Structure 1
């Protein structure tokens, strides 16, 4: 083999090695991106399933809250203990109640059911909570239904 042929063969080999290395690096990057996407989707699906379970149990939680406000949940009774266990279970998943009287109204977290005119008000605030809302992590499971007091429109 002549030196020129050897040089062509070496150049072709180097080009082939560089091309194969580039393909390998791209395949590795695609794999890393795929793993990241799968993990992100797995976490999102888990959060969605938890939110669905929580959403289905909210009517029972509302009933427990109403019973507590009415005075039916006397501390130490079995129903009060069950209520506390259910609430602590939701809290373990990061669920928080939203919508407190006096809070600034935020349509991302609150659903205004009633608007009360207040000529002295400078911004819309929650005058009364009709149905509390809940947030799970960053996801609103249910917006709080509220009466809003604010400036005359």
Structure 2
């Protein structure tokens, strides 16, 4: 029966024959193991090297990406540290400039503060002059200006200036016994050192050379000996 004579819907008897596939893992003729086929008809053994190469390439790309990401992270951290250091340096310089400007202004007022102090010591700080003087001292104190220097302070050449020098039995170290002019500072910055009279222990007094006996001998004795 030809295809033209076959009624519609009737399939070809050849197509209805069962398909037998040999799925034995061992070839009965050679006795060797067979390589299984994949769904697309290719051998699994042939596709394995290709997939392994692709996996290796993928691992290399991943490692390269991780290395690049680590480098970028290090660059970011370094830039952040540099920026933090820059901000600290700017703030430090700004604070130093502010303190220097403040010290320069307050240094111009030290003479006025000295006059107020002397007037107070002599009892002349009264009336309106007293109010103005105390107001000025209050403003300078709020600005950070500190007056220092008291009799009995240990002499420190970093903050004291010795204008007079002597020796005393009642001191054990060089001591400021008299404040001739008070000192002023802002924080650790000395605006003007305290001018003082310094006394050292008598043990530090240099010894005078002993006089020779011949110098004390009367002149007539020398003549007799001659």
Same fold by TM-score greater than 0.5? yes
Structure 1 residue 130: Cα displacement: 0.9
For residues 149 and 67 of structure 1, what CA distance do their matches in structure 2 show? 28
Correspondence 1:118-133 to 2 at 5 A:
118-133=168-183
SS for the counterpart of 1:71 is coil
The 2-side partners of 1:126 and 1:17 are apart by 67
Structure 1 gap segments, 5+ residues each: none
| 1:131–1:145 Cα contact (<8 Å) kept | yes
Q: Which has the higher strand share?
A: 1
User: Which structure has the larger Rg?
Assistant: 2
2:140 is the alignment partner of 1:90: yes
Shift of 1:109: 1.4
| 1:46 paired residue among 90, 98, 101 | 98
Greater RCO structure (CA 8 Å; 6+ sep): 1
Unaligned runs of 5+ in 2: 1-52, 207-226
Q: Is the 8 A contact 1:102 1:127 kept in 2?
A: yes
Root mean square deviation, CA, Å: 1.7
**TM superposition score normalised by structure 2:** 0.62
The structure with more helix, counted as a fraction of residues: 1
- Measure how far apart 1:5 and its partner are: 3.1
| DSSP 3-state at the match of 2:155 | coil
Q: Distance in 1 between matches of 2:117 and 2:131?
A: 13
Q: TM-score when scaled to structure 1?
A: 0.90
